[in-house]
Structure 1
């Protein structure tokens, strides 16, 4: 068997190609090793130079490799911790650098609700809520139709309305729907309202004496119709298609005192060119003379203990963003209130607690900064986002889902059904179920449960980034109306107002200036890089130039070494 010349030439070609590849591979390996030793001799990173010294014993190189890896692990752990802090808690709340004068913020909105409800009357004698409810309960237990004698259709409407307003805790469960037409509870409550000036006897705002009607507007709350001072109109809080917007009423005289009333928002404050007298109203200093003073009156013969329980008087809710109420917040009297007992003089000194924000945190996602800007969270019923408004809307939506209707005082569209008497327990239970649902969801998320997604979505009602709370200090003393009238020589007052009980209320700022809090960046990009640089420098002596040095040796320097070896 012989081998042809062509086969010999092919064999030589393959061998030559293999040798060239082997030589190229050895050149590349030699170039990389040469570059590596040069890098180890010249780098500024601590410990690396010991790894590249050929004359250094193998044990020592293993020791320094072990130390180097431990340093990298320490750096990685601490930088991971810094990154987690940067991503999860980038915002810190601290005190502002200087104090804020009280004229920078509005005077708190004040909502007054009388605990005395209208007494039903029939044919010269009184029929109380207790009388009708007692008969209603007996008929319900006996499975009879509730048709009380000598009670007009109008009085029946008022009784049905009081079932929603009075103490619902005593109402029996699973009560039937009382026969009758669908009611507009707001209209019925307005009809039941007693004469305004009988209860708001006297008002003084700043140094001006005036009729209370010029300061207070009707407000629909869960406890009926109350009266609010210095709160924005429903047209400025609710959206156009809501029931509350369409029943907002006419503007008050004090709302027309300045054309700048629409320039105020909680985030931006008052306009720089706004007048001293504006709306929402503000004061220029602290003290009782720079506040509101009220003389509230009630009557012993009009007390109905079955409706509101044994405690009678007035509830005064001071409302703002989260615990109390700023002018753009909706009053929820049953959650925050100060009780004003009859025969007392009550002084409420207000201490504002305001949180502002720096411009830098606006770039963060709301979840990272744990608050919403006004344009980031749109509500279905409200134009203005506050945590309280959001929670109220969430409750209305949840109640509609659970009961098929909403309570008469909840924010709603005109075409949304309103719960009747048979749904009172349903909407009361819905509020607790919503709170339990939110509690379980937050608990599941904090525990890191895998199935936390199966829990119903939250209300997503984080605080507003700019918030305002009015904390209070309350003091009171006895106020004896009869002794005061005797001292003044007025013997006709009690004859004109038999059974009168009176309280006096004064609300004012305690101090002319207060310290605000401020949401600002705890970890910006600069702080994060500085923190990482400090960790790298402490463990390894690493810097930006060290990174450039590494890139240089294994790109430009490696290419130069390879080129030199190929030529050699």
Structure 2
């Protein structure tokens, strides 16, 4: 390779050996002639660079580079090795770019943990039970069922657009207005007006209509203790009215201080119903139970699997108290199992407990934990939030379910100007009346459609790449999460035949029209395998990949980089200073 730049030419004694000079003379090149010399400074720099270049090529550990600096090497061979060197660099760049893309887009992998986890390390699932009977029917005249009240309402609306019932008491009118929000909404008209009357406290009306707890929760057993259900269950306000939750966190542990739910719980803490639950919360999903915690703690846990270590209860309803027009043809109870720090949303997923059945629910926990290494990644890259990274307006605890509920609240407030009575809210948020039922009922679907269209538009803009797409709600899963999968079995539970066989006639006299079901919830196994989010490619793995690719194609290493830096800095400077002294 012949190097000439800006009139720079090497002296024969410095740059070329005698054999090269002789071969050049044979070729007819007169090297004895002296060309016009460039300035001394430029000539020294060029000669120093050429000397350093040939020195580097003869000593470097990078494959193929030594052939580029050899003088006897024919030019076509140098071109060949130059092409091979460029092709190697291209292959290295392509493969390293693929490794970098994988490192940036999928840095986290979910794998099984090395050891199994005993069930006492996690809380027993929170169990929310909702009766389909929202109000005890009390026939009077033509009847005051939900359907009869709605027919009267429609009749008045068609005549005068003003609802002035004459044979309905003010209390029944309040109950009817509340049932419009709780019963099936398929019959609610889109143009339904606001019924005249004072602003309702729907929670108080629901509590007034609520069937007695001891009649519907006939008995239960927990940790070998019977008939203490009222110590384990608390009232929970849901979208389907007041339900009862076992082993859930108190509203004061879930909601922020300025919310309506927190305010109501504070008022009820002095009552006997909740006095047993006013305890300090030692547990969190990320840290678990403290090592010093006792067997009986809050939230509750069990020590083993099997029906004897779970909760067992008998649920009861009465045929004459069922209002089929309100909740439809399927009666009984709805049961939802959820993490203690999740707010139950009964209408989303539930297990049916029909009357006259015994239902067994075997629980299989599904838990995902997090390694400390992924905390350094951006949440969008690892596709999950740590507890301190995503703050919610209404909730102290971040979970994906709580985040989605809060997003729905904000969207409903924007869309309808109010929120449903059961939604988390602050004390100043307006509660939707009867004229807004259709609006907030459709808001959830509109929100889902909006989220879908936004994600689809982002995917189309990024050529279908769905990695790292952030939704408007920004409700990614929590990095540490806990879910309860279930296996359900059931059999007939014939109460009448059992009482007849035992000759017991007093029960049916005391509880006429009784229909009963039994429910048992327990862990299926004493140990379970957790999943763990960990680094798929850390910085060490990425550098190891890059080093392997460089070594495979070029024999390049960190020392090769130091070697290159040494030759073209320190060695180049030494050669230049040496030539400068020779010239002088």
Residue from 98, 102, 110 that aligns with 2:115:
98
The question of whether the paired residues in 2 share the 8 Å contact of 1:108 and 1:327 is answered with: yes
Aligned equivalents of 1:423 and 1:542: distance in 2? 70
Aligned twin of 2:133: 116
Matches of 1:486 and 1:471, distance apart in 2: 38
Separation in 2 of the partners of 1:20 and 1:469?
A: 83
Is 1:499 paired with 2:481? no
Deviation, structure 1 residue 437: 0.8
- Give the drift of 1:461: 0.5
Do structure 1's residue 265 and structure 2's residue 284 form an aligned pair?
yes
Asked if the contact 1:291/1:506 (under 8 Å) is kept, the reply is: yes
1:83 and 2:96 matched? no
The answer as to 2:351 corresponding to 1:334 is no
Shift of 1:109: 0.3
- Of the structure 1 ranges 60-69 and 158-167, higher mean CA displacement relative to structure 2 is found in 60-69
**297, 303, 325: which one aligns with 1:306:** 325
Moved more, 113-122 or 187-196: 113-122
CA contact (8 A) 1:119 1:128 kept: no
- What is the 5 A alignment of 1:461-500? 461-500=475-514
Q: Could you list the per-position Cα deviations for residues 190-221 of structure 1 after superposition, in whole angstroms to 9, with x for gaps in the alignment? A: 11111111100011112111232111110000
How far apart are 1:313 and its partner, in Å? 0.7
- Corresponding position of 1:322: none
2:554 is the alignment partner of 1:540: yes
Question: Are the structure 2 counterparts of residues 68 and 256 from structure 1 closer, same or farther at C-alpha, using a change threshold of 3 Å?
Answer: farther
For residue 44 of structure 2, give the secondary structure of its aligned residue in structure 1. Answer: helix
TM-superposed CA distance for 1:251, in Å, is 7.8
1:394 matches 2:407 = yes
Partner residue, 2:532: 518
8 A Cα contact 1:370 1:463, kept in partner: yes
**Alignment partner of 1:202 is 2:237:** no
Sort the Cα spacing of 1:259 and 1:521 in 2 relative to 1 into closer, same or farther, 3 A.
farther
How much does 1:259 deviate? 9.3
Change (3 A) 1:253 1:231: farther
Can you list the C-alpha shifts for 1:435-455, whole angstroms capped at 9, x where unaligned? Answer: 0111111112222269x9xx9
User: 1:260·1:274 contact (CA, 8 Å) conserved in 2?
Assistant: no
Please list every run of 5 or more consecutive structure 2 residues that lacks an aligned counterpart in the other structure.
1-35
**1:420 alignment partner, one of 409, 424, 433:** 433
Deviates more, 1:247-256 or 1:359-368: 247-256
Aligned partner of 1:359 in structure 2 is: 372
SS at match of 1:439: helix
Cα distance, 1:523 vs. partner?
0.8
Residue-pair matches, total: 541
CA distance in 2, matches of 1:241, 1:139: 40
Asked whether the equivalents of residues 122 and 150 of structure 1 are also in contact (C-alpha less than 8 Å), the reply is: no
Which residue, 296, 313, 318 being the options, matches 1:277?
A: 296
Find the residue that maps to 2:186 and give its secondary structure: helix
Instruction: Please give the residue correspondences for 1:134-283 in structure 2 after superposition, counting only pairs within 5 Å.
Output: 134-248=151-265, 249-250=268-269, 261-283=280-302
Q: Deviations over 1:429-488 (max 9, x none)?
A: 1111110111111112222269x9xx9960011100000000000000000001221233
Question: What is the rounded CA distance, in whole Å, between the counterparts of 1:533 and 1:25 in structure 2?
Answer: 38
CA offsets per residue over residues 296-335 of structure 1, 9 Å max, x none? 001111111111111111001111xxxxxx1111000000
1:349 aligns to what?
Answer: 362
Asked if structure 2 preserves the Cα contact closer than 8 Å seen for 1:120 and 1:155, the reply is: no
Runs of 4+ in structure 1 over 6 Å off? 251-260
- Specify the alignment match of 1:12 in structure 2: none
Distance in 2 (alpha carbons) for counterparts of 1:489 and 1:226: 35
Distance in 1 (CA, whole Å) between partners of 2:129 and 2:309 is 19
Q: Which residue of 2 aligns with 1:52?
A: 69
Preserved contact between residue 361 and residue 522 of structure 2 (Cα < 8 Å): yes
Comparing 127-136 with 117-126, greater Cα deviation is found at: 117-126
**Distance in 2 separating the partners of 1:83 and 1:314:** 53
Match of 1:24 in 2: 41
2:32 — aligned with what?
A: none
Distance 1:121 1:258, change over 3 A: closer
Deviation (angstroms), 1:381: 0.4
Report the 3-state secondary structure (helix = DSSP H, G, I; strand = E; otherwise coil) of the residue aligned with 1:169. Answer: coil
For the 8 Å contact 1:214–1:252, the answer to whether it is kept is no
Structure 1 CA distance for aligned equivalents of residues 306 and 134 of structure 2:
34
Indicate the residue corresponding to 1:16 in structure 2: none
Does the Cα contact within 8 Å between 2:231 and 2:276 map onto a contact in 1? Answer: no
- Quote the residue 1:15 is aligned against: none
Query: Does 2:577 correspond to 1:563?
Result: yes
- Give the unaligned 5+ runs of structure 1: 1-18, 320-325
How much is the aligned-residue C-alpha RMSD, in angstroms?
A: 2.0
Helix, strand or coil for the counterpart of 1:98? strand
SS in 1 for 2:293: coil
Deviation of the 1:565 alpha carbon: 1.7
Distance 1:134 1:402 in 2: 29
What does residue 6 of structure 1 align with?
none
| Counterpart contact for 1:258–1:275, Cα < 8 Å | no
Deviations 1:39-97 (A, max 9, x none): 11110001111111121111111111111111111111111111111111111100000
1:551 deviates by 0.3
